[in-house]
Amino acid sequence: MQAKDRIILALDVDSEVEALGFVRQLAPFVGAFKIGMQLFNSSGPSIVNKINDLGGQAFVDLKFHDIPNTVAAAGRVMTRLNCYMFNVHAAGGMAMLESVAHSVKDEANRLGQTSPIILAVTVLTSIGQSELENEMLISGFKVEEVVVKWALMAKKAGLSGVVCSPREITAIRAACGNDFKIVTPGIRPTWSAKNDQVRVTTPADALKMGADYMVIGRPILKAANPVDAAKTIIEEMEEL
Ligand code: C5P
């Protein structure tokens, strides 16, 4: 994989015009564009086709979490939309994960196209040990243990990988092996502002730890020259 393909640009804007402006500029310098609930809900699903038409690939970050039949049907829609990646909550359970993995494969076969990469979100990084025990009522396990167990469950269910914090990469890579895709946010090159991210990792360090893809937003979006920022990140990864 080329260094540029590892960058997933988080299109955290709510105007389609602004988002597509970034796609036009940056499609040659990043691997995919992440559409979160902010952009998806303001632009609608056609944003995926527009990104594809501009030579980009789309990661639909809507974190599906519902009964198996509903998430399986949403997975078929994602496949028909021709997105590159989408994600679901591992907390939806084994049946939900198996069902979406099966429906996506079936729909892709029916259409004769490649299946999107399905990623699981394990424990949100905003949930600490206290929230896990006192709010989610999961006791007897450390957050890190739940993260690894849910990553393993996702793998067993047939998902392609997970989205996780850089701090969890090493444990997930060790448990789930080299073919399991690891996508990580919380990335900051040394030259860029941390913004509201507290524990950050550089692109080179995330790569060394075993990440396949990194989600990067403001270091590129808010840079004086976004193309130069993306090129600098690529160079820093290539120096490894
Ligand atoms: O601008 P920045 O690089 O901080 O953007 C990071 C992106 O990754 C945002 O879209 C954010 O929602 C997402 N993300 C995150 N931390 C997580 C999960 C997702 O920053 N734990």
In which band, very low, low, confident or very high, does the pLDDT at 233 lie, cut at 50, 70 and 90? very high
In which band, very low, low, confident or very high, does the pLDDT at 188 lie, cut at 50, 70 and 90? very high
Q: What is the pLDDT of residues 157-182, one digit of tens each?
A: 999 999 999 999 999 999 999 999 99
The answer, yes or no, to whether residue 199 has pLDDT greater than 90, is no
**Cα angle for residues 89, 221, 58 (degrees, 5° grid):** 45
Range of the domain at 193: 3-238
Q: Which of 7, 11, 59, 215 to mutate to test the pocket of ligand 1 (most atoms within 8 A of CB)?
A: 215
Domain count, the chain: 1
Q: What is the pLDDT of residues 21-58, one digit of tens each?
A: 999 999 999 999 999 999 999 999 999 999 999 999 99
The answer, yes or no, to whether residue 240 has pLDDT greater than 90, is no
Distance 184 CA to ligand 1 centre (A): 9
Distance 223 CA to ligand 1 centre (A): 16
- Is 50 catalytic? The answer is no
Are the beta carbons of 210 and 169 closer than 8 angstroms?
A: yes
The answer, yes or no, to whether residue 151 has pLDDT greater than 90, is yes
- Is the C-beta atom of 218 inside 6 A of ligand 1? yes
Looking up residue 77, the CATH number of its domain turns out to be: 3.20.20.70
The answer, yes or no, to whether residue 86 has pLDDT greater than 90, is yes
Q: What is the pLDDT of residue 143?
A: 97
- Ligand 1 atom showing the smallest separation from residue 216 Cα: 3
The answer, yes or no, to whether residue 122 has pLDDT greater than 90, is yes
Backbone angles phi, psi at 124, to 5 degrees: -55, 145
**Adjacent-strand bridge partners of 64:** 88
The rounded distance, in Å, linking the Cα atoms of 201 and 113 is 35
Distance 229 CA to ligand 1 centre (A): 17
